């Protein structure tokens, strides 16, 4: 007989509009160290207008969204852009970022025609993405705001095949 799912079971699934508030809370918990306050309106706008149509995923545990992130494709369908990836601040360092990133890269790699993945992130997080094979293309000091540099990074699937 099948047993009921554990309340603490961790699942990954596509974003739905009712996740909006939880995702904004994840953003708020990461402001200052990882995001600037000026980006909040952009993220809210993204959730309103794009997340449902893009490949945007959430990790849920016990009916709570604890991480989110996804990707969009360029017009040619060759480049996937990772966007708005984040883990609940108090759960960072517990493997959720790894789970989320692998799921995002898998989704991108399984999309016919996609040969590379790009992202931009801060100096605090670039080391995390290097672990997945991303290399640095450009660094803009204070690119997101004072003290928050912008790092543009690239992962090419063709190089590893
Ligand atoms: C970056 C982020 C997604 C990492 O998620 P996480 O859940 O803390 O990471 P994990 O626990 O899965 O860590 C996996 C491995 O990466 C390492 N790691 C985690 N954050 C790292 C960082 N900033 N730099 C270098 N390595 C890092 C961990 O030490 C761990 O290594 P191990 O397997 O040898 O123990 C998370 O810190 C986050 O949400 N940051 C805020 C949002 C953000 O900046 N997003 C990116 C741009 S939009």
Half-sphere exposure in the Cβ direction for 105 (13 Å, CA): 19
Atom of ligand 1 nearest to the CA of 98: 12
Residue 161 has a pLDDT of 46
pLDDT, tens digit, 9 for 90 and up, residues 84-107: 999 999 999 999 999 999 999 999
pLDDT, tens digit, 9 for 90 and up, residues 133-161: 999 999 999 998 889 899 999 999 975 44
Residue 5 has a pLDDT of 55
pLDDT-based confidence at 21, cuts 50/70/90?
very high
Is the model's pLDDT at 1 over the cut of 70? no
Residue 31 has a pLDDT of 92
**What gap in Å lies between CA 127 and CA 69, rounded to an integer?**
18
**What gap in Å lies between CA 50 and CA 45, rounded to an integer?**
8
Pick the CATH number of 10-160 from 2.40.30.10, 3.40.50.11810, 3.40.50.300, 3.40.630.30: 3.40.630.30
93 CA → ligand 1 middle, Å: 6
Q: Average the pLDDT over 2-27 and give the result.
A: 86
pLDDT-based confidence at 7, cuts 50/70/90?
low
128 CA → ligand 1 middle, Å: 5
Give which of 78, 113, 75, 82 is closest to 97, Cα–Cα: 82
101 CA → ligand 1 middle, Å: 10
Atom of ligand 1 nearest to the CA of 96: 7
Q: How far is CA 88 from CA 7, 8, 58, 134, 138, in A?
A: 18, 15, 11, 23, 28
- 38-43 CB contacts, 8 Å cutoff, 24+ apart: 38/145, 39/144, 43/84
**Location of structure tokens 């360029």:** 74
C-beta 43 within 6 A of ligand 1: no
Helices (H), the chain: 20-30, 40-49, 96-109, 126-130
86 CA → ligand 1 middle, Å: 9
Both tokens assigned to 1: 């007989």
pTM score of the predicted model:
0.91
pLDDT, tens digit, 9 for 90 and up, residues 26-81: 999 999 788 889 899 999 999 999 998 889 999 999 989 999 999 999 999 999 99
C-beta 57 within 6 A of ligand 1: no
Out of 92, 101, 102, 132, give the residue to mutate to test ligand 1, the one with the largest number of ligand atoms within 8 Å of its CB. 92
């Amino acid at each position: 007989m099948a047993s009921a799912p554990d309340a603490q079971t961790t699942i990954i699934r596509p974003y739905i509009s009712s996740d909006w508030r939880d995702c904004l809370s994840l953003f708020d918990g990461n402001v200052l160290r990882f995001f600037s306050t000026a980006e909040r309106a952009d993220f809210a706008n993204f959730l309103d207008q794009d997340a449902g149509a893009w490949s945007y995923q959430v990790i849920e545990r016990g009916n709570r969204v604890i991480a989110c992130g996804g990707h969009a494709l360029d017009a040619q369908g060759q480049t996937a852009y990772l966007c708005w990836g984040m883990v609940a601040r108090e759960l960072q360092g517990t493997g959720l970022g790894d789970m989320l990133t692998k799921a995002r890269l898998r989704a991108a790699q399984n999309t016919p025609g996609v040969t590379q993945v790009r992202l931009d992130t801060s100096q605090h997080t670039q080391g995390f993405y290097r672990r997945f094979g991303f290399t640095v293309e450009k660094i803009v000091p204070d690119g997101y705001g004072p003290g928050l540099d912008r790092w543009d990074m690239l992962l090419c699937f063709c190089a590893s095949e």
